Amino acid sequence: DIVMTQSPDSLAVSLGERATINCKSSQSIFYSSNNKNYLAWFQQKPGQPPKLLIYWASTRESGVPDRFSGSGSGTDFTLTISSLQAEDVAVYYCQQYYTTLGTFGQGTKLEIK
């Protein structure tokens, strides 16, 4: 199994400031034949299912605000929220889909400072 490890486990950021969440895979999830990284990011608010934010490591899902961005390649990836809003309080998960049955990171809890 590819193990996904997120850091930090929790994060407190002031409104309007930048929030950065990291995700590291235990092996490369970059497929050279199509030049793509097989990584997605999700946001989960209490009592709700996860919501897709980003796929292919940096492609924003339709309707997702542009303050959310994804970057990275190979084994190291980052989700950045450029200017934190109150509605961004949630747990964020990365997921690799390089293997057919994908695996998720343990989650990062984002709060307001």
Distance, in Å, from the CA atom of 62 to the CA atom of 42, rounded to the nearest integer, reads: 13
Which is nearer to another protein, 16 or 47 (by Cβ)? 47
Angle at CA 37, nearest 5°, toward 31 and 41? 150
Q: Which of 42, 68, 77, 92 is the binder for another protein (CB under 8 A)?
A: 42
Kindly write out the interface string for residues 48-87 of this chain, putting x where it contacts another protein by CB under 8 A and - elsewhere.
xxxxx--x-----x--------------------------
Which is nearer to another protein, 31 or 83 (by Cβ)? 31
φ, ψ for residue 88, nearest 5 deg: -85, -5
Output the six-digit token pair for 101.
Answer: 């049955």
Which is nearer to another protein, 20 or 104 (by Cβ)? 104
